Amino acid sequence: MTTPTTHAEWQAAAARLRFRDQLWIDGKPVPAADGRRFPSVNPANGRILAEVARGAAADIDRAVAAARRAFDNGRWSRRAPADRKEVLLRLAALIRQNVVELALLDSLDMGKLVTDAVTIDAPGSAHFFQWHAEAIDKLYDEIAPTGPGDLAMIRRVPLGVIGAVVPWNFPLDMATWKLAPALAAGNSVVLKPAEQSPLSALRLAELAAEAGLPDGVLNVVPGFGEEAGMALGLHPDVDALAFTGSTAVGKLFQRYAGDSNMKQVWLETGGKSPNLIFPDADLDAAADKAAIGIFFNQGEVCSANSRMLVHESIADEMAARMVARAAAYQPGDPLDPASRMGPLVTRGHADTVMGFIDAGRQEAQLLCGGERLTLGGSDAYVQPTVFLGADPTARIVREEIFGPVLSIQTFRTEEEAIALANDTPYGLAASLWTRDLNRALRLSDRLVAGTVSVNTVDALSAMTPFGGLKQSGFGRDLSLHSFDKYTALKTVWVKYG
């Protein structure tokens, strides 16, 4: 499909879409065991896109059984690494061939700008599948230095059946971050996409089958957390579970593991990322990137730079810059290339974000935004919002909002800046703006965050691990380190001679 360039062309392409609405188990689409369905709603207009099969415990049982059979028969788990690589490279190519369709699915399902989905999310998923595929036959086992008469081999082996639970803010990307290394390592997977955004995951499963992935190796069970998610977390035949989402739900998965088979649980959870700006920084560049860091994807980003910490000498300048940048991010139809933000994922989530904004009006100075908008029949749109001067104990400073809401605070010294930045239960990401290399290195050492971006925001790559500290979790996606979650080290010791 040729990439549309105008609003009308994107609307026409959307009208031609076919939505996959069944579970994907053992290589084919199937209804839920009890026949139930749930609506997948377009937040841009409130209309139902599709009635999707609602997976529950019985469906998780079916999917896990299929994944276990596929793992045990060895058609994937014992396949040569180079052969697995070829299948995943074909999948990457198929994603690229269907990039417009996949971008539209995510845009319609959760409200992200289709221009972001078609240039960042969908191509990024193809890239991540390709990168992990290319890594498969570059991971070497080890030989221990035992001496004559002994051969001790340390082998990296797949774990078995992986449960993956992913959020709605980057539906295709987050599924890929889990699936690419898990499948590359030889595991079978049961994926539960968020109930708000199941459509691209179901299409991805279909493409994986087309690429040659054997039946049962990838299963997709849309459903609700308290049904399908809980069943996956408690299942005794799941060997490990990878989760991206809220801290509260991450804690539930740890509990499920303890109550069942002590499965490994890898978490990437919430964030409240600080963005430190010093007077010697390029303030225009800092403001441009800070706007991306909080308004991109409607602020529905776990590592969003939602707390700007500014030296008091430049506080007024930076506040004015951020108000000007916010004006350029007014929300609109996500299928319109002229829009800079779309709606929030649901009306309910917009209610939550507005609750934070209402609290912020009592806690700080509202510089701009703060209003809810109704566009195209939907009231899930929220203006980009900037607050100044909130106390460190304020809700808008302490809690993850997951919306386009920025809080600006001031500091006098490096010590105060570090204290404010680290005064949070989270530790996912941080940004730091200065031309002083000594300061950059000195403070990056002290910022408690899984990633510290210097003179940019939210830097990531397939080559570097992504994950957090403290209550932001402890799993790592991306990079060669992602294989650590989905493999075990096995020692094989041979006496000879």
Q: Is 80 left (phi over 0), alpha (psi -120 to 50) or beta?
A: beta
What is the average pLDDT across 240-263?
98
Please state, rounded to an integer, the average pLDDT across all residues of the chain.
98
Structure tokens at 481: 């380190």
What is the average pLDDT across 486-492?
98
Backbone angles phi, psi at 381, to 5 degrees: -95, 135
What is the average pLDDT across 177-198?
98
- Local confidence band at 377 (pLDDT 50, 70, 90 cut-offs): very high
What is the average pLDDT across 152-179?
98
∠ CA 474-201-180, rounded to 5°: 50
- Specify whether domain 274-462 bears CATH 3.40.718.10: no
- Local confidence band at 407 (pLDDT 50, 70, 90 cut-offs): very high
Q: Which residues of 175-186 are buried (b: 16+ CB within 10 A; e: fewer)?
A: bbbbbbbbbbbb
Q: Is the pLDDT of residue 157 over 80?
A: yes
pLDDT tens digits, residue range 322-338?
A: 999 999 999 999 999 99
Structure tokens at 402: 């997951």
CATH class as words, domain 7-269+473-491: alpha beta
Closest by Cα among 283, 378, 278, 277 to 325: 283
Q: Cα–Cα distance between 457 and 48 in angstroms, integer?
A: 35
The whole model's pTM is what?
A: 0.97
What is the average pLDDT across 471-477?
96
Contacts of 71 (CB under 8 A, 6+ apart): 77, 158, 160, 161, 187, 188, 217
CA 252 to centroid of chain Cα atoms: 18
Closest by Cα among 91, 105, 97 to 19: 105
What is the average pLDDT across 375-391?
97
Would you say 330 and 298 are in contact if contact means Cβ atoms under 8 Å apart?
no
In this predicted structure, what is the pLDDT of residue 35? 98
Contacts of 322 (CB under 8 A, 6+ apart): 287, 290, 291, 308, 367, 386, 406, 408
In this structure, how many other beta carbons lie within 10 angstroms of the beta carbon of residue 96? Answer: 16
- Local confidence band at 192 (pLDDT 50, 70, 90 cut-offs): very high
Q: Cα–Cα distance between 24 and 134 in angstroms, integer?
A: 26
pLDDT tens digits, residue range 266-314?
A: 999 999 999 999 999 999 999 999 999 999 999 999 999 999 999 999 9
Closest by Cα among 92, 42, 30, 136 to 334: 42
* Burial status of residue 190 (CB atoms within 10 A of its CB: 0-12, 13-18, 19 or more): buried
- pLDDT > 90 fraction of the chain, expressed in percent and rounded: 99
Closest by Cα among 407, 389, 387, 384 to 397: 407
**How far does the chain reach from its first CA to its final CA, in angstroms?**
63
Structure tokens at 396: 């808008």
In this predicted structure, what is the pLDDT of residue 252? 98
Ranges of CATH 3.40.605.10 domains, the chain: 7-269+473-491
Structure tokens at 319: 């506040």
Q: Is the pLDDT of residue 369 over 80?
A: yes
Q: Cα–Cα distance between 429 and 294 in angstroms, integer?
A: 13
Instruction: Find tokens 């570090």 and name the residue.
Output: 418
- Catalytic hit among 101, 195, 206, 268: 268
CA dist 296 to 169, 288, 339, 458, 462, Å? 11, 11, 12, 11, 20
CA dist 194 to 23, 81, 112, 361, 436, Å? 13, 31, 15, 32, 43
268 is catalytic: yes
Q: Cα–Cα distance between 326 and 383 in angstroms, integer?
A: 9
What is the average pLDDT across 134-146?
96
In this predicted structure, what is the pLDDT of residue 497? 84
Closest by Cα among 344, 347, 76 to 187: 76
In this predicted structure, what is the pLDDT of residue 360? 98
In this predicted structure, what is the pLDDT of residue 471? 97
pLDDT tens digits, residue range 50-86?
A: 999 999 999 999 999 999 999 999 999 999 999 999 9
- Strands 150-158 and 487-495 turn out to be antiparallel
Backbone angles phi, psi at 149, to 5 degrees: 85, -5
Contacts of 373 (CB under 8 A, 6+ apart): 331, 379, 381, 382, 383
Quickly count helices (H) and strands (E) in the chain.
16, 23
What is the average pLDDT across 450-472?
97
What is the average pLDDT across 84-106?
98
- Strands 142-143 and 48-53 turn out to be unpaired
What is the average pLDDT across 137-143?
96
Would you say 129 and 114 are in contact if contact means Cβ atoms under 8 Å apart?
no
pLDDT tens digits, residue range 338-363?
A: 999 999 999 999 999 999 999 999 99
DSSP string, 44-86: TT--EEEEEE-B-HHHHHHHHHHHHHHHHH-TTTTS-HHHHHH
What is the average pLDDT across 415-419?
98
Backbone angles phi, psi at 98, to 5 degrees: -115, 30
- Local confidence band at 1 (pLDDT 50, 70, 90 cut-offs): confident
Ranges of CATH 3.40.309.10 domains, the chain: 274-462
